[in-house]
Amino acid sequence: MNAILKKENVYIAIKNEDLRNGVNSKEVESLIYDYNDKDSVYLYGGRVSLHYGSAEDLVNLEVDGIQIQEVYHKDSSLSFKKNINLSKAAAFLNQMENLGIDPFLENYRNQLRDFKKELEIKAEKIEQEQSVQFDEDRLTFLTSLKKFINELTCTIFCLLINMNAGLDNQYYSDAYNEIINLYF
């Protein structure tokens, strides 16, 4: 079982564990997400969604339609990883549970802004080095770095236009549950 469970307002990631004999994963009360049974879940009144990623222990996490992504370095270039592992998703859900969704998004945005500033400084330094001594490999890295900074700018822009509605999470949850119960 690769799943996320919730117990006493704490999200727990379960990876590569088998349920005891006779226990059906659909019967587990605190089951939030399971790759086999619940591969798409909406939480906090639909503001947060978890969807099956590209593997059993990976998920796509979206908040207000904005995908939470992880930055990784591969083949001398930076890129976004759209799938995050269950443990990281559970950690993010715990932050949302304890701090609220809007503070989580604000923190995420601020971290991306700070990271972007660091990358811009690094790109500027590489450009200055290139003007003194040209290096083809450094130029390739600089090009990929600028491309990534542009992607980062687009993500930050999405987070900037996502405005805090000023509603408590409970209002979202109540409205969502009422609509689901009435019509579905």
How does pLDDT run across 74-91, given as a tens digit for each residue?
A: 777 788 888 999 999 999
Residue 18 tokens read as: 């088998």
Task: Give this prediction's pTM.
Answer: 0.80
Domain boundaries of the chain, sorted by first residue: 3-183
Alpha-carbon distance of 143 to 145, in angstroms, equals: 5
Residue 165 confidence (pLDDT) above 70: no
On whether the CB atoms of residues 57 and 34 are closer than 8 A, the answer is: no
Alpha-carbon distance of 128 to 79, in angstroms, equals: 23
Provide the residue type at 110 as one letter: N
Express each pLDDT in 99-130 by its tens digit. 989 899 999 999 999 999 999 999 999 999 99
What does the pLDDT average to over 138-164? Answer: 88
Task: Please tell me the predicted confidence (pLDDT) of residue 168.
Answer: 65
